[in-house]
Amino acid sequence: MIPPRPSGWEADDLDHLPQAPRHTELIDGVLVFMVTPQRSWHSRLVENMTFALRQAAPAGYEVERQMTVRLDDKSRPEPDILVTTAAYRPDRTWYAPDDVALVIEVVSEESADRDRSLKPFKYAQARIAHFWRVEDEAGAPAVHTYELDLMTRAYVPTGIHRNRLKTTVPFDLDIGLTSLVP
């Protein structure tokens, strides 16, 4: 696939690439394809965590999985899960950072570097208030939670949650983590 312009791909191009594989992301004008098969652990965790968040979300919050966030003209990453304050629209293909309260990345071998360094940096620069990274610790999820420091536009750690995720941001939540992956 050849970019439509010398400056590379742009965020709106993702909506017009029928030949691109599912879950194609745009990072700094470069298309990123998910080329390795997804592990069952990752799939079940994302599905069950999405359901748990939807059950806990109060009015005014929506929970989506695998939807892109248009950070700028050159970047539209696809977090595994996001929590938004934007109203549901069935034709939506992306969210603006101002409408995103939380992004969650479930680390896989293929995406580890992006999920641990590049994406958190970009989400923080776009001023998304909360970022969670989920790691596989011997088959059990460990959720690393972060909150944006507006002065530095960087995330600061707020906790590492094993067995139970209990937090008040972006809303009150109490999830048993061991039940998310059988």
Which single residue is written with the structure tokens 């680390």?
A: 107
Nearest to 108 by CA among 121, 94, 123, 119: 119
- pLDDT for residue 71: 98
Full domain range(s) for residue 97 = 22-179
DSSP 14: G
Domain contains 105: yes
| Within-domain flag for 11 | no
On whether residue 153 sits in a domain, the answer given is yes
Number of domains composing the chain: 1
The answer to whether the beta carbons of residues 32 and 24 sit under 8 Å apart is yes
pTM for the model: 0.95
Instruction: Please check whether residue 82 is in contact with residue 104, taking contact to mean a CB–CB distance below 8 angstroms.
Output: yes
Amino acid at 171: F
Which tens digits make up the pLDDT trace of 70-107? 999 999 999 999 999 999 999 999 999 999 999 999 99
pLDDT at 45: 97
Cis peptide bond N-terminal to 170, omega within 30? yes
Q: Is residue 2 part of a domain?
A: no
Residue 48 lies in a domain: yes
Greatest alpha-carbon span in the chain: 49
Buried b (16+ CB within 10 A) or exposed e, 20-35: beeebbbbebebbebe
Asked whether residue 8 is assigned to any structural domain, the reply reads no
Question: According to the model, what pLDDT value does residue 36 have?
Answer: 75
Domain of residue 94, CATH code: 3.90.1570.10
The single-letter code of the amino acid at 16 is H
Phi (first) and psi of residue 56, to 5 degrees: -90, -20
- pLDDT mean by block of 10 residues, the chain; 182 residues: 90 92 92 86 97 98 97 97 97 97 96 96 98 97 98 98 97 96 84
43: enclosing H helix or E strand: helix 40-56
pLDDT at 19: 87
What is residue 132's predicted lDDT score, i.e. its pLDDT? Answer: 98
Residue 49 in domain: yes
Q: 5 in a domain, yes or no?
A: no
